Amino acid sequence: MANGYLSFVLHAHLPFVRHPEYDQFLEELWFFEAITETYIPLLQRFEALDEESVPWGLTISISPSLLAMLEDELLRARYQRRMKVLVELCEREQERLKGDPHFKYLAGWYHDYFKNCLDYFEACNGRLSTKFKALHERGNLEVISCVGTHGFMPHLAAIPKTMEGQLENGFAYFESVMGFKANGAWLPECAYYPGLDERLRDYGIRFFCTESSGIEYSNPAPVYGVHAPLFTPSGVAAFGRDHACTKQVWSAEAGFPGDGDYREFYRDIGHELDFDYLKPFLPGDVRSDTGIKYHRITGPGYNKAGYDPESARKKADQHAAQFLSQRVSHIDYLKSTMGVAPVIVAPFDAELFGHWWFEGPTWLDYVLRKAAYDQSSLETISLGKYLDRNPVHQTAYPVTSSWGHKGHFEYWLNGENDWMLDQLTACGWRMVELANSFNQKKTVKKLNDRALKQCARELVLAQSSDWPFIVSNGTSQQYAERRVRDHCSRFHYLASALTEDTVDAKELETLELMDNIFPDINWRVYAEN
């Protein structure tokens, strides 16, 4: 029996980015890139592990907003279209680079890569959720949920019913797509406050992850630090992330992804080649990433050497061995000091693997395989299975925390973005008022019922924690601000129409087409009566 466990937790999430009002939309690329570089590569590797009967375990959370995009027919069709464009671009690139053997090879390599993704996507009719579901049912991959549209729960708690809307609608949508209730939940931004666990418990959620300080500063102090979960007084387990181990993976400076052999993220041909040549392959009239990146990190400075997938693969192999040997030593040591089986929890944004760190899925695959065959100290495991095997833990309240800067909430609430919370609170308060008022009526007109659902959709879309994050981050700031303003104004527009009983069916239908998340969203959850 292993001395302890290593548990990777990948959090797959993107804000709901879908713009049917335009033929193509730049921000939809976020979704397409994540499918190509992260979700499909991860799925393919997980399937291979299962097919080869490798003993492995991992937890992945899929946010309901991402799930809604993965299920959306329009976005699926657009992804298909995008991949065909990229395959064509690679063909053009091979022609353009015929005088340069290495770069021509790379263009061909990308051609095969995109083609492979497209084939995989088409083979499942674009429904990647079915692939995740199948893996979950085989037992090694544990798929868990997140809340609604990734709302920042400690801040939504100001109007508790709006938090409830995120929880109920998110978990219900997850169940409707995946066919099972989530065993655990990823808290958006790992943001926790004492009391949130009770709400999770009411939805049958058994565990969640927190920042390491959430566990380390818990009350009472944790006996085993972050290497064993704590049960909150409500019985929901809180796992703390192991900082040393995660930093090695996510840090571009101190971690593996910064190695010179790995692919350079910032040298995309979309920003380098002649604009007229690229224009037919771009989603608009501005330059954007194509996903074709010919260079490796090489070192500091702009001059970069050509990317070599084989060298990068070998480096991923080495780094996986290095990572694993450090975890093995750590587990052996922890076992000698702990009365229970230690667990190292390594949570990451799933998009780190593949999108930000192109070789990430390969590295992960190697770690899982080496953990299965090259040592016997640790076992990779999903968090749910760990709890099944180790059901006794200390009881404590984790401290209020998030995985943001300094472990606080400042990134999501500061002078730059506090207006967003003001707007969300105003919408939330009005939503509760509306729900209270309509919930009292014996019957609600079908049109009004639809409008109430749409109000709930606009509210949850505005509540995504991504918007204040993007504003603090300074990237795509205008887009994030626009999204909050748009959803809030659509919400108030409909709310006023409902109050005055003047809902316009045509306008409502248009809004339903545009913001179509969670078809069966429950507006009554906002009612206090």
Partner 1 sequence: MKAATYEPEIMERMRSVGWKIGQTYTSTPGGNYLAFVPIRSGLAYLHWSLDMEVIKAVQAEEGDAFNGARQTIRLYDVSWIDFDGTNAHQQFDIEVDGLWGHYYWRTDRVERYWMAEAGFRLKNGKYRALARSQTIFMDRGGRCGRSSTRGMYVGGRFERVVPVDNIFDASTYERIHRSWSGSLAEDLEITFFADDPNEESASRLRNYLAELHQATDPLGVHFEDGTDGNTTKPKLVHAHDIDSVKDAAKLAKTHKVPLVLSVHASERERSGMRGREPDEAILKKEAAALKKADWVITPHSETRNHLIADYGIPEERTMVLPDLFQGVIPQAFDPGTVKKRYHLHPARPLALYSGEVSHAAGADLLMTAMEHVCGVNEEAQLIYAGSGPLRPELEQRAHHAGLGDRIRFVGHVNRDHFTDLLAACEFVVIPARTWQDEGLAQLALENGKPVMTTHQARIGCVNHGQNGLVVYDNPGSVIWGLQEMFNNPRSLGYQGSHHQVSKPQSVDGLAVELCIHYNTILSASKKGGA
Q: Between residue 381 and residue 420, which ones bind partner 1 under the rule CB under 8 A?
A: 387-396, 399-400, 406, 408-410, 413, 418-419
Distance of CA 262 to the CA centre of its chain: 23
Among 17, 199, 490, 527, binds partner 1 (CB under 8 A): 490
Site string for partner 1, 253-292 (x = CB under 8 A): ----------------------------------------
Interface with partner 1 includes 447 (CB under 8 A)?
A: no
Among 6, 136, 163, smallest CA distance to 62 is for 136
Instruction: Report in angstroms how near the CB of residue 53 gets to partner 1 at its nearest.
Output: 25
Of residues 287 and 408, the one with the C-beta less far from partner 1: 408
Looking at 54-62, 151-159, 251-259, 314-322, which segment touches partner 1 (CB under 8 A)?
A: 151-159
Other beta carbons less than 10 A from residue 45's beta carbon: 18
Among 148, 151, 188, smallest CA distance to 464 is for 151
Residue 90 CA to residue 107 CA, distance in Å, equals 6
Among 32, 249, 241, 10, smallest CA distance to 135 is for 10
Interface with partner 1 includes 2 (CB under 8 A)?
A: no
Of residues 108 and 160, the one with the C-beta less far from partner 1: 160
Interface with partner 1 includes 467 (CB under 8 A)?
A: no
Angle at 201 (CA atoms; ends 198, 206), nearest 5 degrees: 125
Site string for partner 1, 183-212 (x = CB under 8 A): x---------xxx-----x--x-x------
Instruction: Report in angstroms how near the CB of residue 415 gets to partner 1 at its nearest.
Output: 9
Interface with partner 1 includes 502 (CB under 8 A)?
A: no
Order of all β-strands in the sheet with 207-210? 207-210, 237-240, 230-231
Peptide bond between residue 220 and the one before it cis (omega within 30 degrees of 0): yes
Interface with partner 1 includes 223 (CB under 8 A)?
A: yes
Which H or E element spans position 227?
A: none
Query: Could you tell me where the DSSP H helices lie in 97-159?
Result: 101-123, 128-138, 153-156
Angle at 511 (CA atoms; ends 11, 417), nearest 5 degrees: 50
Instruction: Report in angstroms how near the CB of residue 290 gets to partner 1 at its nearest.
Output: 18
Which amino acid is it at 249?
Answer: V
Among 48, 221, 252, 505, binds partner 1 (CB under 8 A): 221
User: With contacts defined by CB under 8 A, how many residues of the chain interact with partner 1?
Assistant: 84
DSSP string, 267-293: --GGGTS-HHHHGGGSSSSS----S--
Interface with partner 1 includes 25 (CB under 8 A)?
A: no
Instruction: Report in angstroms how near the CB of residue 97 gets to partner 1 at its nearest.
Output: 29
Of residues 58 and 434, the one with the C-beta less far from partner 1: 434
DSSP letter, residue 411? G
Q: Is residue 228 classed as helix, strand or coil in its secondary structure?
A: coil
Site string for partner 1, 52-81 (x = CB under 8 A): ---------------------xx-xxx-xx
Residue 529 CA to residue 441 CA, distance in Å, equals 11
Q: Is residue 215 classed as helix, strand or coil in its secondary structure?
A: helix
Residue 310 CA to residue 316 CA, distance in Å, equals 10
Buried-state track 87-111, b at ≥16 Cβ within 10 A, e below 16: bebbeebbebbeeeeebbebbebbb
Interface with partner 1 includes 337 (CB under 8 A)?
A: yes
Interface with partner 1 includes 529 (CB under 8 A)?
A: no
Whether the CA torsion 273, 279, 283, 284 is positive or negative: it is positive
Instruction: Report in angstroms how near the CB of residue 26 gets to partner 1 at its nearest.
Output: 15
Interface with partner 1 includes 117 (CB under 8 A)?
A: no
Looking at 19-27, 88-96, 172-180, 372-380, which segment touches partner 1 (CB under 8 A)?
A: 19-27
Of residues 94 and 218, the one with the C-beta less far from partner 1: 218
DSSP string, 176-198: HHHSS--SBEEPGGG-B-TTHHH
Of residues 93 and 515, the one with the C-beta less far from partner 1: 515
Interface with partner 1 includes 427 (CB under 8 A)?
A: yes
Among 86, 147, 334, 346, binds partner 1 (CB under 8 A): 334
CB 194 within 8 A of CB 398: yes
Instruction: Report in angstroms how near the CB of residue 399 gets to partner 1 at its nearest.
Output: 5
Among 425, 437, 439, 476, binds partner 1 (CB under 8 A): 425
Which residues inside 224-253 make contact with partner 1, applying CB under 8 A?
225, 231, 235, 237
Instruction: Report in angstroms how near the CB of residue 332 gets to partner 1 at its nearest.
Output: 10
Instruction: Report in angstroms how near the CB of residue 390 gets to partner 1 at its nearest.
Output: 7
Interface with partner 1 includes 180 (CB under 8 A)?
A: no
Of residues 41 and 126, the one with the C-beta less far from partner 1: 126
Among 342, 281, 311, 365, smallest CA distance to 2 is for 342
Of residues 55 and 160, the one with the C-beta less far from partner 1: 160
Of residues 4 and 309, the one with the C-beta less far from partner 1: 4
